[in-house]
Structure 1
Amino acid sequence: MAPYGTSCVLLLLCLGASLAEMVFRCPACTAERQALCPPPTDTCTEIVREPGCGCCPVCARQEGDFCGVYTPRCSGGLRCYPQPDSELPLEQLVQGQGLCGHQMDPEPPNLEPGCPPGEAGWKPSKEPSWLGPKESAVRLHRQEMKAKMKTNKVEEARPTQCQLELDQVLERISRMPFRENRGPLEDLYALHIPNCDRRGQYNLKQCKMSLHGRRGECWCVNAATGRPISVTPVVRGDPNCGQYLGTPEMDSPAQSNTQVPKGWV
């Protein structure tokens, strides 16, 4: 078992320097704390732990339900996604305007090495019987999808680069604990959530979320790769990306690692 200090170092490397303030462990959910929880008022298809550091059981959101950073979690096998073509996807998640949907990546996202699953998340001393492991639910969903594909002889379309990047960022957010269910928006602002269109390609215009009443910065990218177009400005408004259609950088289909303007995670 790795020493406590080593675990902390690995955790900081995983989340990055800009998220260092968010690295902490939620208080343990003792039997006394759980005894104070009211039972769910509705008939739930699935029960999960409430968001943040809460210990009480709540109903999981189902496919198509609204969801976000501070709302109850989506049901097993689902993930909270910003709506397609959303200009400000992160702002949608903060405001609880995302939608629960099936995960788009057929394999687990490739996170940084040395970061064990759940290292930054909440882990009670004894997991309640009503809380099933997320990994088991996702695995079951994938097995069902594989069996369905074999039966129907239909091959599932491979996720696009934008969809894969989106899944990786949402996985990071899902592992972030938030103090008293209200994490600092500055830490979320440091993350870049790609803006994918309905075909899974990058929207030409990418924007950061608004913060403290100030509009977020926007820039233009290549629709296939997500790479910023060097000749376009980064502005707090509309950079009018359509005027750059036909330029070599905008038309290049070459695959490359997605980048964002310098200084943003």
Structure 2
Amino acid sequence: FEEAFQKALRMVDENFPGFDPYVKQVNDAELMEPTDKRMFVIAAALRNGYTVEKLYDLTKIDRWFLQKMKLIIDYNSLMETIDQNHLTSDTLLKAKQLGFSDKQIAAAVKSTELAIRKKREEFNIKPCVKQIDTVAAEWPATTNYLYLTYNAIQHDLEFTEPHIMVIGSGVYRIGSSVEFDWCAVGCLRELRRLGKKTIMVNYNPETVSTDYDMSDRLYFEEISFEVVMDIYNIEDPEGVILS
């Protein structure tokens, strides 16, 4: 849950690094009112010592979810006490499994995103590619819907054929997204006409570019330097096209 939750927050708005306790101030009235920003008030409350039970009384959010949120904030507080030069492999892996981006980790340990990436590579901490299960394990399902996770030990598929990687436009913005998605779709169709296998990286399920038959491999992932480079290093494509 923690990994998916933090990824989802970044996907909705790239201005939010994840489950950040510094976005909002603690406010009991805001905790009682369900809004699209309430999770950041919860983050601030957890950092300021609110218990799961107190938050349950205020929000009526199931304790299971609140406990998961507390794990994220507690680990962020732990990382803030660690010097970047003393960041261990176990600490870094646990952070990635909890959904922290390299940028978040860098902010906590007072380092840089590139320095954290370099340290990850030194420790060989890399994400695994998994297939999205479209039938909730009712029966075996093989799909070209893919995602990255650090909560796994091996990939679900092999990377033997060359592909062309196309980067989508991400979350919809009124007045600017349909046009960009049309460009991505046109690019995918032209590459297919030329006999090239394609990889689409995007995360809006309502777009044409994320239809199952538009590309050979479809990554529902963040459009960020970290994630795009992770996919690039795993897939080793013939080329990358930015839409």
Query: Do both proteins adopt the same fold according to a TM-score greater than 0.5, normalized to the shorter chain?
Result: no
TM-score normalised by L of structure 1: 0.23
* Larger relative helix fraction: 2
TM-score normalised per structure 2:
0.25
